Structures are given as structure tokens and as C-alpha cells.
Structure 1
Amino acid sequence: MIRKKFDQTLVLHHLKIYHYMKIKILLALLFISLVQAQKFHFPGTAVEDSIILEKEMPELALKVIAKQALKQKPENKVDFLDNLFRLEIIAKDYTQSINTLSEYRKQYADHNMAGNKYIALEVYSLAKLNEQKDKTTFPAALQKSFNQIYNGLSDQLITKIGIAFDGNVNDTRKLLRKALSKQKDKDSIDYSSALALCKSYLNYKTYSNIKPQIMQLLALKDQEEFIIETRDLKTKSGHTLTITIVRKKENKSPLPVILTNNIYAGQFDAFFGKRAAVYNYVGAVVNTRGKRNSDDENEPFEHESEDIYDVIDWISKQPWSNGKVGMIGGSYLGFSQWGAVKKLHPALKTIVPQVAVGIGIDYPAQNNIFMSYMLQWINYVTNNKLTDEADFNNFTKWDSINTAWYKSGKSFRALDTISGKPNKIFQRWLDHPGYDQYWQKMVPYKEDFAKINIPILTTTGYYDDDQIGALYYFKEHYKYNKNANHYLVIGPYNHGGAQSFGFTVVNGNTIDPVARISIDDLAFSWFDYILKNGKKPEILKDKVNFQVMNTNTWKHAPDLEKMHTSTIKFYLLDHKNSPSVFTQPVNKTFTKQTVNFKNRDEKDSYYVVSKKDSIKTTHSVYFESEVLHKDLIISGNLAGIFNVAINKKDFDTGTYLYQIQPDGKSFLLSTHMVRASYAKDNAVRQLLEPGKTEQIPIHNSIFISKKVEKGSKLLLVVGVNKNPAWQINYGTGKDVSDETIQDSGEPLEIKWYNDSYVEIPVYKE
């Protein structure tokens, strides 16, 4: 660790900003010693002795607060306040912790949906404060604190807090023990380890102290406000499904029903039901085969179309239903809705697929390249009747499995065996590397889309992992049904944000205020519009509604192609030897790249943006544009053609377009990856001819809309996919899942011809 000069004035200024004046004198004294110290005193005896641990943790928290104030810069306010809030609770400064949380919400939670992730910690801190003030027992103080916070929440937010309180006490205990075990036989701890220990300690303290009582209090509140019933349904084919129905007690008349098809059985069932109920609908949540009380085989994605038809048929005939059904949900739950319209029931009047998985399109393979994550997810949803949270969130385990596979050079098909648990679903998926009938039968395919005439609202985001899938359905719907009544809202949202609410900061980037909308409010305004003859949501001014980042404006277009007004071509040129990367080259040349698939220990290489930032370029080549002399709004997704010649029959490409900002930071604008042999047709493999110049078209890249400021540069990184997160294509032409490192042969050689180009969509007023 590099020692930093101590600037007392700056540190005290930070403390003043973050309202820590109460102990600033103590911190100033601590700073003097911390500048010289690399570690904090923390006795090894605290590892096994809970009494010593309880005594040492508040003191450690104070030391970490001091170090954090010294380390942090003003632009790190999100992390600063997040850490500070937690540390202050451990330091037993409960009043100040609540003030810090208020400061966080003031700056980064400018609507009532954000900041909810802290509510368990907030209730715990307030309870400890009330315990001191009222000189009462902790259970009494906890009930008072819970009521104080609960009564101040909106109905919409109340539906979410059960998830926030439902932390796994056993998991938090294990994480704490793991953090403590690292300190065994030591008498000091470094800053990073201390901060991690403080966080794991607080999580365990919070959930172990409040969860049982809070869950009882929440159950009582639910009994006061809702009628919640769970029952089993038998489908016409004889399969059992568990369904949860939630109604507001005050709603006596039949209502439209909002259905969610949920493979993530458990805590989310009641949440999804209550979410619909508070908007004055009946909420219905059905679990997929093999979940909850179903003894059927759990085969994700395969039976939605058949099963949901029967569920809707049953719902439409219940006394609390007025015969109209809508569907909502994100990710797998979004996919489920497209499964439902494959065989459309007359009672299904609208769907709101959010960040919908494009099965066979972007998951479990993106543009025909299978991802390692698929095995982790399969285990998550099939290990038991609910979800295996402990296994899924054991990132260290899964990272080590993926790394072990990568290092071994074994086939991708061996990944499940390496994990210690062979998986037939994993193997079944690998048997379908092309977009064949196995995938096509799960959702509408080609002319099936022409039959879908119900209104649809799709939401996704520029940072959404399933954006490609969500937009695939949108594009195919309009391709086969020119009169489709289908709206799209897309903005600077990640996978979670595009199905809940627009965060203030996403991927470290501050989001424009106009983009921070409640997706829940939008969805249920849509349901009001379609199912209750309400007003059309204001944001839906045209079929495509997109937020232009860095302009604080929304734009509206009749289709995706109208998101931009022109395009520019970025050629694979070195601008230092050419007039411009945006000008077609006169002479044809190439950039040569070599990738040795046998080497699994190579060092990473980087493009250095500045002292503040760098971009990984391992297994890639890059091309840098000249400085832009005027603002440029990039709006849409990348297209183009790569003209290449390789010495093998296939390879997987990876393309990344970055903005190099004037402030010396990079911004990832768009990405694209594809298996070259499937680039022209994702259903039919067409191998490359070694040594022959071939064209690889760019389709299904990531959409974005953002103003790129003048003074920026664009950086185009193109290369080969070779890392533990994805299959490795050795280029033999065999099934890639069966190839091993023994198939790698000579290194892959690629000639990237300079008449290759990435077509960038540009919007002009």
C-alpha cells in the first residue's frame, strides 16, 4: 500500500460534509497514527471469544471510519455513505447512522422506491436507539421502530420490505465466521479485511436479532390488509402447479387478475401477489413444474406455453376474477409471458414482459456461444423445491469451478462433472447449439408472431443482461405483424432496474434524473389503460420510447430504426496512418492477430486510458479514432461487417465500443459477440474455409442511446472470446461443447481486413 500525505484540512472538510463532527477530534488524532500504519490492531482472541468480539468491533469500526474518510474522494460519495452508515451502527452511533442514511437517500434515492435495501439495517439501528432512549427491552424497541418505519411507507414500498428483511441468518453467520477465520493467530487486520469483517458482522447482528420478530410483525400486517391463499392446481395434462392468490381485503368486487409465472419459488410469491393487490388488482403467482408442492420433473423453460394456458383458464373462472388477465414479470418471468402467447388464451388481454430472457437467443447462449453461468443458474432453480440461495451466491465456489475447467482444457461438456454434480439439463441444452426446434417450440417463432394481437409493453435497459432477448421479441413481433400494438421503453437500466425502478447510479455512472422512473408505476398504469379503460401512460408517446443518456431527455420513435437518423462507419484503421477511421480505406491491408488456445497462464494486456482508467485488451486488437470535434449522439445498436481470414474453421468474436471521455475515463457504449459459423443464420452452422476471406455480419449487438461529448475519442476493441465465462471455440468444426485443448492445434491466426467496419447509429435533431 502506498502511503499518502495527510491533509488534515481536506479530511476535516469531508467529515463536515458527512456530518461526523461529533467525533472529529478523535478521528483527527487517529489519522495521525493511521498515516504511518498499514494495519489496525485486532486481537486474534476475538475470533473465538464472542465477548471480546463484541468489545472490539465498535473500536475497529471507528478506526475504519477514520481510514475511510482519509481514503475517499468526493466522487466516491455513494460508497462512502454506504460504508459510513454501516460502520456508524457498529460504532453504536445510531443517531448519526440514521442521519447518514438520510443523506444517502437525499442524494441517491430521489423517489420512494430507492434506498429500500437498507431498511433492515435502518430498523435495527433505530431499535437500538429507542432501546437506549426509552430504557426498554430490545424486542419492545424493535416493535416500536418497525411500526415507525412501516407506517411511513407507501403501499407500493410495503410490498417489497418482506424481501429486505428475509436475510438468511445461517448464511450471514457462515460469512462472519469465514471473515473471522482469516484473523486466527493474528493481532492486526488491514483496511480491506476490516471493512469486509465489519459488513459481515453487521449483517449477522442485524438479521439474527430482528428477523424472527420482524417476520411475525409483517405476517400480522399482511393478515390485516390482504387475503392470501395458496393452493395446488391440476393441469389438463395431469401436472401439479402451486398458485398463490393475493387480494386486498377492502376490494370486494371481481377484478382483473395480474398473473406472474415464477420459477423462483419462495419469498417472491407473496411479493409479486401483493404488488398487484396494492394497485387494486388480484395478484396471482403460479410456480413452474417441480416447484413448491409439485412433484413433477423440473425442466426450466420447456412447459410454459402448455401450463400457463390452463392456469389462465382456471383464473378466468374464479369468483374474484372479472375474466380479464394480464401478465407481468422480468427475466425468466418475462420469457414466461412469451411462452404464454405461443398458445394465446382469450382471457389474456395484455402482457408486460420485462427484461425477458430470449431463450436460445441470449440465454443460455448469446448468439450461439454458451455461457458458464448457465450451470450455476440451473442448480439455483433445480436443487430444491424453492431456490438454492446459498449455492447460487457462493461466487467463490463457482469462480473456482469455472477457472478449474478453463485451466484443465477439458471440454465444455465436462463443466458439470468438474462441479461435482452432473446435470442432465445442462447436457440437454448443449445438445442444441443452433436455434433449432428445441428452442423454437418454447416461444413464438416466425409466423406465430403474426397471431399475437393483444397490447404489449416491453421494458429493458442499456445495461440489461437480457436486452438482446427483450428486443428480439419486439423486432420479431413487428416483422411478422405490421399492426402490432407493442410499446417499448428502454433506458439506462440494468437487469434489476428495468423491472423495478431507475437507480440514481448504474455501473458507476450517474443516471439522468428523467430516467429515474418507477417501472412498477409504469406497468400498472399500463394495466389500468388496457384493463380498466384508464389513461395511456404519458411516457408512451410512440412505439419506441428511449432515454438519451447525458441529455436528460426522452425521445420517441415509431420503430427501432428511427432511433437514429444516420450512421457512420468505423473502419479497422489506425487513425495515425489514415485520414480518419470514419473514411473508407483506399488500399486493402490487414491487422494480424494470433491467439494460442493452449496458453492458460498468459498475462493480461491493457489499453491505458489514463492514470484513472484502463481497458483490458487480452486476445484483442484495438483501433482508436481521432478526437471528436463536436458532440455525437449514438442511438441504436452496432451493425457492420468483419472481413476476416483465419487458419481454422470457426472462432468466436468479441467486439467492444468505448468512449474515451475528455476526463480520462472510459465508457462502454456497446458490445457484440457471436460464433462466426452462426453469424449469418443462428439455426444453421456454416463453417469458415481456412485461408479464405469470409464476411461475418454484426447482428444482435447491445443498444444504447447516449450523447458522446466533443473532445472524446472512440475506441473499438475486436478479438477472440477466450476466458472461463464462456465456451472456448477451438475452430475444428466439431461440436464446440466437445472440443478440448487437445483440439487446439496451432495458434489461431486472424487477418482483420481494414475494409471491415462497425456501423455506428447516430441521431441528429
Structure 2
Amino acid sequence: MKFKILLALIFVNLLQAQKFYFPKTAVNDSVILEKQIPGLAQQVIPLLQSAKYKPENTVDLMDNLFRLQLVAHDYKNSLASLFENRKLFADHNMGDYRYIGFELYALAKMEQEENNTSFSNALQKVFNQKYESLPEKLIPRLELALNGDVNASRKLLKNFLDKQKDKDSIDYKTALALCKNYLNYKTYSSIKPQVMQLLASKDKERFIIETKDLKINGNTLSVTIVRRKENTLPLPVILTNNIYAGPIDGFFGKRAATYNYVGVVVNTRGKRNSNDVNNPFEHESQDIYEVIDWVSKQPWCNGKVGMIGGSYLGFSQWAAVKKVHPALKTIVPQVAVGIGIDYPAQNNIFMSYMLQWIQYVTNNKFTDEADFTNAVKWDSIFTKWYKSGKSFRSLDKISGKPSKIFQRWLDHPGYDEYWQKMIPYKEDFSKINIPVLTTTGYYDDDQIGALYYFKQHHQYNKNADHYLVIGPYNHGGAQSFGFTYVNGSPIDPVARISIDDLAFSWFDYILKGGKKPELLKDRINFQVMNTNTWKHVADLDKMHNSSLKFYLQDKKNTSSVFNKPETRNFTTQIIDFKNRDQKDIYYKVSKKDSIKMTNSVAFESEILDKDMIMSGNLSGVFNVSINKKDFDTDTYLYQISPDGKSYLLSTHIVRASYAKNNQKRQLLEPGKTEQIPINNSYVMSKKIEKGSKLLLLVGVNKNPNWQINYGSGKDVSEETIKDSGEPLEIKWYNDSYVEVPVYKD
């Protein structure tokens, strides 16, 4: 009895310390793990819902809750929580496929228990029922949703279990992560082989799917062709050029077929069945022209071709119109990479992520998902490089895998002919006379690239038939559908549209003589966040009709930061590039919110006495004096709302020596006051409520995620910590300003 009381006391103490009993024997014994983990999940659930650990937004709460309930074998409540999560995720049925693998697993487990049948029989029954209940437009997404990476989830689970070796207790954070990783492995190892076979059988009933290897420009390209069985007459073709070979090829093809087109997906050189060299971006312009030529002559094509796709696939469409094939009637580039503009360098600053992406698409004939999504590995590599003080060129060797592509890209720090030849350049845009629909988002990583193409097309072709749709979407949302929550905050209901439906309505309009999509009332169609309205204007400059100049001055010394200072002075900032162990500094917004500002200077506006709509992108100029020949600026504009929450409105980074001309480097003169223009910042349109204030962070780009510019004047990729010399000293003059675009009714 005393022993049981002692165990009970230990258990109570563990709970009070937010730790749970979890036997170390579960690490190496799968039978014990199976018995212990449901109970662990049951103990974690109350803490998840407690004030201390409850996530700030409902999406994260419901996401974690349904997973824990599923691990705890509470299948009925898990499904209820999952359905609530979907409602939060999207207001339209495009969200119904979200977590469908977990749904099928829970339904099959319930069916197995209720009817005393085998799991296999139960899974087949619930799969068939679910498949028949889904809207037709969701069918193409099923393969992506069900194709979980069992090997990767097994490795992640093992990693978490290994951390528990020789321990009989587990803390809340680790327990939550362990339960979630266990669920991923358990679910997909249980359902994947069978459901993929069932789905393939359903696809055969619905589609004709062919694969071919084409000889193009002396190289082999793999092509997937998808048609609906009932469509026997020639149709327009929707072509996608895809470097991410794998299950997504089937999705793109089946999506087009579902909208009553022929879907054709071509993989780039070196992918799938191609043994050619994979050099991303370099050959798309030549290859796609020949692919379109082949497609247009096939019996299932009526001679009209349109293109669609996002990110790299968006770039591919601009590569395709470097020389427009007569059969290509329209393109729909979504979140398009602006090669040499916003990737692999943004405003001439190379990003560490470029190496991670290169390995993702070149490690094998498909994509290396396990490596790409291994955040711990890549964070470790970037941090190791940062701490080492070695040159940026050494990053690939530090990763353990030297890369010719990485090195070749670094050879072109300016926007030179190497990048220019991949896409239309200057007068090339004047020859693009086919209709174009661009989609991007305020939170899209490639917004700068997408808008670069839009602006260049209209600059060089005054009659360009080119429309833009931009709203509160991230990189994924602007090429699929408007999520209910973005960056943890809800978006207006009017913005929660299906980008798929918009794109294919556009194809119907251009390729089949249908009606123009209702949303496209003018060239630029943008959603004003927090107003639940769309606005429509003829050009980007008309997104705003006024502006506020936010001067770099302390509000304590002025009635308003929006007034030009009467006396010129400066704020001094010192950055020691040799210090790689500095502690992060935070701007405290409220008890629950803070913003990292380690290498920044903060400027805070007065409280706004009326509502303001920021609409457009930041411009302005920094007047600075430095003691070196170059540096990289880093700018963030935030809204601090009346309730003490922060919202990122726009960002801007640029290499000072390229700020006036992204093709030619112009070093700064130490000690001389220089002007750095602010161009190519992120566009935002949002109502900022009365009682808010604006927070402007201005500083220096110095972190593991980007090149480090030591200011010696050498090629930045070659610089090492030995080139840093004395600390960088910047004088930010108070007549510098960031111009905030404002829309007034």
C-alpha cells in the first residue's frame, strides 16, 4: 500500500511539473509503446486546453486536439475536432480533403470496432463511402493528401524516442510532439498501401492516364497526359512544366481533366525517366517551346494550349513566353519565382535556403522530401556556417554535399545576362500579346517576383492584356485557395476564394469563349484586409491615392514622426560582425507579444487618431553614412493594434551597393552621406484601426538565413569574418523616411 501511495505522489508531482510518466522500455519495445502512448495522449489533452499551454489561435488548438484524441483512441471526438479544424481552415469545400488520411484511419477504426471486422475491410468500406461523397473538384487532390511519407515519419518517430532513452518521464512539449509523430507514422503505415491501390482503381474508372518520354533538344523529358474518359473530342490542353516530379504530376493532370481540359505535365531535364543533367531554370525557355509544338499536334488537342502553375512552375510560364509559340493562347503564372530578382537572391542578397532547395530537386529523380523537410538538419547547417565565419561559398561544403549549381549561381551577384536569358528581358515583354492572369499574395514569398513580371509586361507593352489578383494569401494559398487563417489571423470571408476555380474560369473565358471571371473588374484586383471588400484599379500606383512619410526620428522629440524634422541629426547603430553569440533583443509589444529586433533600431509612431488603409508597397529613401563600403539593409513595418497584437505589414531588404541598379554594383564611400532608395518591398492592403500605432524596424541583415555582407567591397560570397575589420557604424539620418502608401475614400 505504501508503495502505491508513493507512486501516486510521484505521479502528482510529475503532473505539477508538467511532466508525465513514460517508461523508458517504450523506446525500444513497440508493444509497450502501443500500450503506453494512448494514456500519454489522454494526459496531454487537459494541459493543451489549459490557460498555460493553450495555443493563441483556434486553428492550432483544434489541430493538436484532434491528433491527441486520435492517439488516445477517442475516434468519435477526434473526428468532431477534425471537422471543426476544417471549418476554420476554409469556408468552401476545397478544405474537405484536409487531413483526409487521419479521417479515414479514424473511420476505419470505428468501423472495425463496431462491426467486428478486419481493419482492411473496414478501410475499404469507409474509403469507398468517402470517395463517393467528395465534390468532384477534390478528387485530383486525394493522391497528394494520402501519399504520406512513411519512411520519413518512421525516422522522425525514432528520433523522438531516442531522446527518451534512460528516462521515465517526459515533458509536455516533447510528449505533444511524440504523440503527433507517432500518429503520422501509425496512420500512414496502416492505410497508405491499401488506399493508394483503391485510389488507383478509382482513377482508372474516371481517367485515361498516359506517360511518355519525349526527345526534346536532344534530351529526354517525361510527360504525363490525363483525359476524362467521357471527353472523346479534341480539347484545349492545360500544360504544366514541373520540376517537382512525383505524385503532384498526377494532381496537375487530373485537375485539368476534371475541369474538362486535357491535362499535360512535363517534367524538366533530369527528372523521372530523364538521365540528362538537371540544371534548374536554365533550359525551360527552349524546352517548353518544343513541348508546346508537340502537344499542339496531338489528336486529343484542338490546337489551343494554356499554361498554369505556381512558384517554379510560374517562372516556367514566363520562360515559355520568352518566345511565344503560336499555339500558346494564355498563361496563368501563380506566385511566380522572379529568377535573379527574388530568388535565389532577393534584391541581390543570396539566401541560405537556395542550397536546401537545390538539394531538394537534384538529390534524386523526384524530390527529396525527407531531406527538404528536415528543419533540424538545415537549421544546424546554416547555424554552423554562421558560427564558423567562413565565406558563403563554403556553405555547400559545410552541408557535406558540394554543389556546382550553388557555386554557379553565386558567380552572378548582379542581375546579369545569366539571369536575363532565362525569362523575357526589357523589349521581350513588348512581344507578349497573349492574355495573362497573375495571382500572388501579401504573404507570398515570391510576391516580388510575381509583381516584377506584371510591372515589366505593362511597362514595355502598353496594351498588355494582363490581370492581377492579390489578396491575403501565402505562397501556397495563392496557387490553391484562400485559407481562413493566414499567419495565425483570420482573413475576411470575401477573400476565401478558390484560386483553382478562378484560374479555370479564366481558361474557359480565353480558350472556350466563356464569360470573364466576375472578380476581374480591372487590371489590378486586390482585397483590402479588415474591410471584407475587393477593390479594382487600372494600375498598381492607383492602389493608393495618398501617402505618409515615416521619418526615422524618436517620437519623443517631435509631435509626429510623419512630419519632416526641423533639425537634422542621426541615430547611430553599431554592428559587430565578429560577434556570433549575441543574445536576441526583442521589442516588447505587450505581455503576450514581442518582436525580434536584434540588429535593428526601432522607430515608433504616435497612436493613430483615425482609421487608415495602407494599400501598396513601401518606398522612400535612407540617408546614411557608414564606415565601410557596403552593407545590407533590413526593414520591417508593423501595426501594433489597440489590443496589443503585432501584425507584419511589409518588409524590405537590399544590398546598398545594388539599390540604385541591380545589374551594376556601386560601392559606398566610407564617411560620406549616401542615399539608398527603397524599391521592391512587399505590397499590402489592410485597414489599420484607430488606436493602433506603426512600428518601423530599420537595421542590418545579419543572421544564418542570408549571406553576410562584411562591407570590405569584395565579392560578398568570398568574404569571411576576417574581412569584417572594425564594427560597422551606421548613422541613420532623421530625414530618411519610409513612405507608407495610403488609400483615402
Deviation track 1:68-100 (CA, whole Å, cap 9, x = no partner) reads: 122455853211211111111111111121122
**Distance (whole Å) between structure 1 residues aligned to residue 668 and residue 17 of structure 2:** 60
1:375 corresponds to 2:355: yes
The answer (yes or no) to whether the contact 2:468–2:523 under 8 Å persists in 1 is: yes
Q: Secondary structure at the match of 2:94?
A: coil
> What does residue 259 of structure 1 align with?
239
1:194 corresponds to 2:171: no
> What does residue 190 of structure 2 align with?
209
> What does residue 406 of structure 2 align with?
426
Provide the aligned length of Structure 1 versus Structure 2.
736
**Distance (whole Å) between structure 1 residues aligned to residue 652 and residue 192 of structure 2:** 44
Structure 1 segment 504-653 matched on structure 2, within 5 A: 504-653=484-633
> What does residue 8 of structure 1 align with?
none
**Distance (whole Å) between structure 1 residues aligned to residue 402 and residue 150 of structure 2:** 30
**Match among 631, 641, 647 for residue 667 of structure 1:** 647
1:703 corresponds to 2:664: no
CA spacing shift, 1:360–1:690, aligned 2, 3 Å = same
TM-score by length of 1: 0.95
Letter in 2 for 1:655: T
Letter in 1 for 2:430: A
Letter in 2 for 1:500: S
Shift of 1:32: 8.3
Shift of 1:173: 0.9
1:234 corresponds to 2:203: no
TM-score by length of 2: 0.97
CA spacing shift, 1:506–1:107, aligned 2, 3 Å = closer
**Distance (whole Å) between structure 2 residues aligned to residue 234 and residue 73 of structure 1:** 56
**Match among 51, 57, 61 for residue 31 of structure 2:** 51
Letter in 2 for 1:615: I
**Distance (whole Å) between structure 1 residues aligned to residue 715 and residue 55 of structure 2:** 52
The answer (yes or no) to whether the contact 2:508–2:515 under 8 Å persists in 1 is: yes
**Distance (whole Å) between structure 2 residues aligned to residue 413 and residue 50 of structure 1:** 45
The answer (yes or no) to whether the contact 2:69–2:78 under 8 Å persists in 1 is: yes
Letter in 2 for 1:450: S
Shift of 1:755: 0.5
**Match among 131, 136, 139 for residue 158 of structure 1:** 139
**Distance (whole Å) between structure 2 residues aligned to residue 569 and residue 31 of structure 1:** 60
**Distance (whole Å) between structure 1 residues aligned to residue 32 and residue 524 of structure 2:** 60
CA spacing shift, 1:405–1:172, aligned 2, 3 Å = same
**Distance (whole Å) between structure 2 residues aligned to residue 152 and residue 415 of structure 1:** 50
**Distance (whole Å) between structure 2 residues aligned to residue 601 and residue 104 of structure 1:** 40
Structure 1 segment 321-360 matched on structure 2, within 5 A: 321-360=301-340
> What does residue 704 of structure 2 align with?
724
> What does residue 733 of structure 2 align with?
753
> What does residue 169 of structure 1 align with?
150
Q: Secondary structure at the match of 1:233?
A: strand
1:104 corresponds to 2:71: no
**Distance (whole Å) between structure 2 residues aligned to residue 657 and residue 483 of structure 1:** 35
Deviation track 1:524-563 (CA, whole Å, cap 9, x = no partner) reads: 0000000000011010000000000011110110010000
Letter in 2 for 1:266: G
**Distance (whole Å) between structure 2 residues aligned to residue 677 and residue 407 of structure 1:** 25
> What does residue 43 of structure 2 align with?
63
Structure 1 segment 11-160 matched on structure 2, within 5 A: 36-71=16-51, 73=54, 76-160=57-141
**Distance (whole Å) between structure 2 residues aligned to residue 42 and residue 604 of structure 1:** 34
Stretch deviating more after TM superposition (97-106 or 249-258): 97-106
**Distance (whole Å) between structure 2 residues aligned to residue 730 and residue 317 of structure 1:** 55
Deviation track 1:675-701 (CA, whole Å, cap 9, x = no partner) reads: 000000000101111111000000000
Q: Secondary structure at the match of 1:477?
A: helix
**Distance (whole Å) between structure 1 residues aligned to residue 30 and residue 361 of structure 2:** 36
Deviation track 1:705-739 (CA, whole Å, cap 9, x = no partner) reads: 00000100101110000000000001111100000
1:218 corresponds to 2:218: no
Deviation track 1:610-630 (CA, whole Å, cap 9, x = no partner) reads: 111111111111111000000
Q: Secondary structure at the match of 1:390?
A: helix
**Distance (whole Å) between structure 1 residues aligned to residue 96 and residue 656 of structure 2:** 44
Shift of 1:109: 2.8
Q: Secondary structure at the match of 1:143?
A: helix
The answer (yes or no) to whether the contact 2:26–2:36 under 8 Å persists in 1 is: yes
C-alpha RMSD of the superposition: 1.4
Q: Percent identity, aligned pairs only?
A: 75
Shift of 1:405: 0.5
Q: Secondary structure at the match of 1:193?
A: helix
Shift of 1:143: 0.4
The answer (yes or no) to whether the contact 1:729–1:736 under 8 Å persists in 2 is: yes
**Distance (whole Å) between structure 1 residues aligned to residue 16 and residue 365 of structure 2:** 54
**Distance (whole Å) between structure 2 residues aligned to residue 423 and residue 541 of structure 1:** 47
> What does residue 245 of structure 1 align with?
225
Shift of 1:355: 0.1
Structure 1 segment 304-319 matched on structure 2, within 5 A: 304-319=284-299
Letter in 1 for 2:559: P
Letter in 2 for 1:471: L
The runs of 5 or more residues in structure 1 that have no matched partner are 1-28
Stretch deviating more after TM superposition (640-649 or 175-184): 175-184
Letter in 1 for 2:440: T
Deviation track 1:401-436 (CA, whole Å, cap 9, x = no partner) reads: 111110010000010111111100000000000000
> What does residue 399 of structure 1 align with?
379
Structure 1 segment 737-748 matched on structure 2, within 5 A: 737-748=717-728
Letter in 2 for 1:714: L
Shift of 1:104: 2.3
**Distance (whole Å) between structure 2 residues aligned to residue 52 and residue 719 of structure 1:** 53
The runs of 5 or more residues in structure 2 that have no matched partner are 1-8
1:438 corresponds to 2:399: no
The answer (yes or no) to whether the contact 1:492–1:549 under 8 Å persists in 2 is: yes
> What does residue 19 of structure 1 align with?
none
Shift of 1:184: 1.3
Shift of 1:35: 6.1
**Distance (whole Å) between structure 1 residues aligned to residue 56 and residue 596 of structure 2:** 23
Shift of 1:33: 7.6
Shift of 1:50: 1.3
**Distance (whole Å) between structure 2 residues aligned to residue 394 and residue 435 of structure 1:** 31
Letter in 2 for 1:710: K
**Deviating 4+ runs (over 4 angstroms):** 29-35, 72-75
> What does residue 23 of structure 1 align with?
none
Shift of 1:117: 2.9
Shift of 1:31: 12
**Match among 666, 677, 685 for residue 665 of structure 2:** 685
Stretch deviating more after TM superposition (334-343 or 385-394): 385-394
CA spacing shift, 1:75–1:409, aligned 2, 3 Å = closer
**Distance (whole Å) between structure 1 residues aligned to residue 668 and residue 105 of structure 2:** 61
Letter in 2 for 1:469: G
> What does residue 449 of structure 1 align with?
429
The answer (yes or no) to whether the contact 2:57–2:488 under 8 Å persists in 1 is: no
The answer (yes or no) to whether the contact 1:632–1:708 under 8 Å persists in 2 is: yes
The answer (yes or no) to whether the contact 2:14–2:21 under 8 Å persists in 1 is: no
Shift of 1:392: 0.8
Q: Secondary structure at the match of 2:231?
A: coil
The answer (yes or no) to whether the contact 2:47–2:54 under 8 Å persists in 1 is: no
Q: Secondary structure at the match of 1:736?
A: coil
